[in-house]
Structure 1
Amino acid sequence: MHTVLKARHLLLASLLAAGTASAGTVTIESWRVDDKTLWEEVLIPAFQKKNPGIQIKFSPTAPTEYDSSLTARLTGGTAGDLITCRPFDVSLNLFKKGHLEKLDGKAGMEHFPASAKVAWQTDDGKTAFCMPMASVIHGFFYNKKMFKELGIQVPKTQPEFYAAMEKIKAAGKTPIALGTADQWESNQTVFTNIGPNDWKGEEGRKALIAGKAKFTDPQFVAAWTQMSKWTPLMGKGASAQTYADSQNMFAMGKAGVYPAGSWDIGYFNKEGMDFGAFPPPVAKSGDQCYISDHTDIGMGVNPKAKNKAEAYKFLAWLGSQEFADLYTNKVTGFFSLSNHLISVQDPVAKQMLDWRKTCKSTIRLNAQILNRGEPAMENALWNVSSQVLNGKMTPKDAAAQIQAGFEKSRANAAK
């Protein structure tokens, strides 16, 4: 009998110990499935070296399922302690529903400039609810070998760009590795990549929000006009070509340039591609250049976190020089939004980051406020921009359709 009771006590003790260990583990919610190994083998151990005894678990969900499953877990009270935040309205809506804590004045937030915080603040800028982590930069990758063989200089202006593309086409090769089957690239890596040079970045974006500009104005039509010139440069079957197809085409050396987001650097490095990068060409020599330097990822605290004190310690570390350096150099193509000075090791990533020295940064055109209509402007831009690239819609018609949707959403918001 004594043996049975002793066994029961041992079992109860082990269960309590297990429960305590579980309860003391800070869980991070994220959509960055690809980064799981990095978090487990590099980032978390670096934090634990300075904070022994705090257990951290990185628990990612597939990107396409993240938003809905996270909302369900937050509503049901089963979400993790730390919430990886998408920029602007997705996270703002979580905050409005009470799923993210206010972070103003919290340790680590002092290391970020005001511009970095915009993506995770209320519209009036008075309340922050996620700590900025990283941005992605858009531009073009180019095939160094092809450029050298054809005697092409890296283009700085739009006339130089189109002359280079025609030279590649004349050589029997595909100038631009791009398809429209998935549609999203037509907005995120094309329209909002090349367009800022036409609408002058933040000046044009803020003018739209303020109602002082329309998509039918020349500076916005100009971006779609550029895209209409790409139709014969994208190769055969572009309308059925996926994002993965485009990556593969460029990686295999079959195309001259690839309109890119910096997140693609890691993929092409793994493929052994010899490539460089250049910013979106300006209209003419001497023009101010603009780049889409998009605030992409942040981190917030779940108000119902079971380990809130430990979560805040980890959040403070996310604002440190150590994390900024590790994240920028280990998650290649994601650039710290902090004001810490960082030495970027990857040559292409360094090229892209250096554009900040000469070009003015802006975020994706529709990311803030403009995307709140029904249907969302993001999806509308995918549609019309893909049609322009496919040669199925004129630039003016694309602008008119987006402006009509924009006006309708404003009218509905005013009701």
Structure 2
Amino acid sequence: MKPIQKMGLVLLMLTLILAGCGESSSKPNGETANKGDKVKLTVWHNFAGDDLRAKTVRSFIDQFAQDNPDVELDAQAIPVDGYRQRLSTVAAANELPDLMFVYAGSHSAELYKADLLQPITDVLDQNPEWRDKFLQGAFDPFTFKEKEVYTAPLAMSATSILYYNTTLFEKHGVKVPTTWEEMMTAIKVFNDNGVTPIALGNKAPWVAQSTIIGSLADRVTGTEWFKNASEQKGAKFTDPEFVEALGYFKQLVDNKAFQEGANSIDNTQAEQYFIQGNAAMMVSGAWTLTNLASSASEEQMKNIDVTVLPSIPGGKGDPNTISGGAGGGLALSKRTEGAAREAALKLIYTVSGPEAQKAIAESNSMVMYDTDIDQAKVTSLYYKAFNLVKKTGITPVYDAYLTAEAGEAINNGLQEIMMGGTPESVAKKLQDAQARSTAQ
């Protein structure tokens, strides 16, 4: 064969190879796809409600789909009450979606320990002006390896704000309680006058745990004791101080602080019961700010103020605190690779980037991000809570540190106390569950 013929053959082969390369692109999980095929991306989240925050987050997911026509996005909004269990089911089968909303603490930690997640550090490093405006501690619950971050939080979790109706307190001459004795007095006066002292919707049993017991128990035991008990290092949930903490919750029950049937109504129903003036107080999280912003009038909300739970006599914990921390965010499945991974990181930035953080804050939801908001877009109640949280310390939410089994034990245990169970029995069940699951 002549040299010129050989050269022509080589060029032809190169042309065919390059053409073949141009016909493919990366598919999710490292597979290849023909040119023009859409990248498939799945995302699960629990922003399924009609509250402003849920609508805001969904709007950014929808905007991503609109701005990225090359991505075939399967976004599933799953109600909060069933979300964690559904995610656990697919995690057990190693069939997680590409992106999933995870909670700070044990939820995301357990997925990491099961080797189901991968870090998102590179998208943070690619956008340092965004990364550096998160508040101090925002990434702490999601940093499982040194300098490797697994989630960018969408919110700040403040779970034990004491909301109170100023009109009812003034009408019945009740002092806003700052001590446990004052709380017991308030409960008696309101009951004597036919007003429910504290609205509670504990049908989904995480509510009493997240909003009341974490903050109440911290006032008794102090934070260090709880962390030691969670790690089963030098402290146990059967210790006298924790039994005492559960005893304070039982005092609320025994003194009829909550309305009848509190274990059979949900948190949203309790919020409506409270805002309509049927209860003097409600202990709830920052999510109530968002929910009321979409369901209550400004006239109703201007009569509501916020504070912290009262102090406990002889307690070891700081009384000027609220349980909470960094809220959840979108985490990335370890199985997601190639173009799907790139699309997933882009969606994470879209949903938790500067524009989204501002919009979420303006939906009357706390964020772990330094952003300016338009005061005209938020409620008067949100501003009150925002200023309160800035002046208080943050203590752990129990289920953010307990194992899933132990979290279920305390959730169900508080329901048991509300139905006549004893603090000692519940403390033992919690201790047994935490000891058993941390030993595995």
TM-score range, shorter chain: 0.7 to 0.9
CA positional deviation for 1:253: 1.5
Question: Does 1:130 pair with 2:151?
Answer: yes
Query: Does the Cα contact within 8 Å between 1:193 and 1:280 map onto a contact in 2?
Result: yes
Partner of 1:271: 296
Distance 1:97 1:287 in 2: 35
Partner of 1:292: 323
Question: Does 1:353 pair with 2:391?
Answer: no
More divergent stretch after superposition (160-169 vs 85-94): 85-94
5+ long unaligned stretches in structure 2? 1-33, 125-129
Partner of 1:371: 403
Equivalent of 1:205, from 223, 226, 233? 226
CA positional deviation for 1:31: 1.8
Tell me the SS of whatever aligns to 1:281: coil
Tell me the SS of whatever aligns to 2:280: strand
Distance 2:58 2:429 in 1: 46
Distance 1:240 1:297 in 2: 26
Partner of 1:23: 38
TM-score (normalizing by structure 1):
0.77
Cα deviation digits, residues 200-239 of structure 1 (max 9, x gap)? 33x2332222612222334423321221111232356336
Partner of 1:255: 279
What amino acid is the match of 2:423? P
Question: Does 1:162 pair with 2:184?
Answer: yes
Query: Does the Cα contact within 8 Å between 1:329 and 1:346 map onto a contact in 2?
Result: no
Cα deviation digits, residues 18-65 of structure 1 (max 9, x gap)? x988725765431211266434546754x799x787879553233415
More divergent stretch after superposition (304-313 vs 183-192): 304-313
More divergent stretch after superposition (341-350 vs 258-267): 341-350
Query: Does the Cα contact within 8 Å between 1:139 and 1:193 map onto a contact in 2?
Result: no
Tell me the SS of whatever aligns to 1:115: coil
CA positional deviation for 1:151: 2.5
Partner of 2:261: 238
What amino acid is the match of 1:32? F
Distance 2:411 2:358 in 1: 34
Tell me the SS of whatever aligns to 2:238: coil
Equivalent of 1:101, from 111, 118, 127? 118
Tell me the SS of whatever aligns to 1:352: helix
TM-score (normalizing by structure 2):
0.73
Which structure is larger by alpha-carbon Rg, 1 or 2? 2
Partner of 1:144: 166
What amino acid is the match of 1:407? A
Partner of 2:18: none
Tell me the SS of whatever aligns to 2:148: coil
**CA distance 1:164–1:109, change in 2 (3 Å):** same
Partner of 2:31: none
**CA distance 1:397–1:105, change in 2 (3 Å):** same
CA positional deviation for 1:377: 0.8
Query: Does the Cα contact within 8 Å between 2:57 and 2:360 map onto a contact in 1?
Result: no
What amino acid is the match of 1:371? T
Identity of aligned residues (%): 18
Tell me the SS of whatever aligns to 2:153: strand
Query: Does the Cα contact within 8 Å between 1:109 and 1:319 map onto a contact in 2?
Result: no
What amino acid is the match of 2:284? A
**Aligned length in residues:** 382
Query: Does the Cα contact within 8 Å between 2:201 and 2:270 map onto a contact in 1?
Result: yes
Question: Does 1:301 pair with 2:332?
Answer: yes
**CA distance 1:225–1:95, change in 2 (3 Å):** closer
User: Once superposed, what is the RMSD of the aligned Cα atoms?
Assistant: 3.6
Partner of 2:97: 79
CA positional deviation for 1:172: 2.0
CA positional deviation for 1:386: 2.0
Distance 1:62 1:263 in 2: 14
